[in-house]
Amino acid sequence: MFKGSIPALITPFLDGKVDVAAFRKFVNWQVEQGSHAVVPCGTTGESPTLTTDEHCYVTETCIEEVGGRIPVIAGCGSNSTAEAVQLVRHAENVGASAALVVTPYYNKPTQEGMFQHFSAINDASNLPVIIYNIPGRSVIDMSVATMARCFNELDGIIGVKDATGNVARVPMQREHVGANFLQLSGEDQTAMGFNVHGGKGCISVTANIAPKLCSDFQNACLKGDYAAALEIQDKLTLLHDAVFLEPSPGPVKYAADLLGICSAEQRLPLVDVSEHTQQKIKEALIKAGLLD
């Protein structure tokens, strides 16, 4: 079962190309800092602007560097069902532990269309699939009923990354889908409440730059020690907020640059974060004890 702190990895760039050396070092650091699993090629990894070859290469490189120490949940989302199938098959062939597949953005499919999308993906491989439900980016929201249908009728669907920000969805999904349905938060700021309601962890943006704190936080939650978790949450609250002041991953990449992890470089249409956001990031890093 997947659980705990699962960073949605940024993809370092240098002069317009994937910075492979920085990425390899970054992946190893995440493992050493206690991350419970990693997700390459998600939205935070700028998957919309990776070429198919780059997407596959980043996934392969991540799996190679992890070397079986923790699970790799490969980002395989697309608004084209055929492309998502292709990415899931590739992830399975190169040894990923599971696939994270977003609900189809821009096309605005119906609930039936979403079910058929995941049905085709399910039938294309034997890789466990986690649904990524993020209405703020995809414009569509998979209903609890459709999620239950996916889980009950499709053997490969094992859970959800819930980025609705609505912690009430967790008990509702437990009621209709069942306690065996894996629920991972997709929003750092509400992850504690998510876990209290029955969640098992968070696919996190903040964990890119604070992996040990995020891991310690999730370990405390998994033990039911919410007093200890709250102490860590208080250190991270400003950082959770700051990394979403502008479109992700701009703020977290700026933080990564400050910490010497990689360049803040992104690909258009994303641009450098504003001076205001830079200042807020610095203040939040200091509050978390990550920057002097």
- The pLDDT tens digits for 125-181 are 999 999 999 999 999 999 999 999 999 999 999 999 999 999 999 999 999 999 999
Q: Is the pLDDT of residue 1 over 90?
A: no
What pLDDT is attached to residue 110?
98
- The pLDDT tens digits for 12-60 are 999 999 999 999 999 999 999 999 999 999 999 999 999 999 999 999 9
What pLDDT is attached to residue 124?
96
Q: Is the pLDDT of residue 80 over 90?
A: yes
- The pLDDT tens digits for 240-271 are 999 999 999 999 999 999 999 999 999 999 99
Q: Mean pLDDT over all residues of the chain?
A: 97
Task: Looking at the structure, give the CATH architecture of the domain made up of residues 4-223.
Answer: Alpha-Beta Barrel (3.20)
The residues annotated as belonging to the active site are: 132, 161
The 3-class SS string of the chain reads: CCCEEEEECCCCEECCEECHHHHHHHHHHHHHCCCCCEECCCCCCCHHHCCHHHHHHHHHHHHHHHCCCCCEEEECCCCCHHHHHHHHHHHHHCCCCEEEEECCCCCCCCHHHHHHHHHHHHHHCCCCEEEEECHHHHCCCCCHHHHHHHHHHCCCEEEEEECCCCCCHHHHHHHHHCCCCEEEECCHHHHHHHHHCCCCEEEECHHHCCHHHHHHHHHHHHHCCHHHHHHHHHHHHHHHHHCCCCCCCHHHHHHHHHCCCCCCCCCCCCCCCCHHHHHHHHHHHHHCCCCC
Q: Is the pLDDT of residue 189 over 80?
A: yes
Mean pLDDT, range 215-220, rounded to an integer: 98
pTM for this model (two decimals):
0.97
What pLDDT is attached to residue 187?
96
Domain ranges of the chain: 4-223
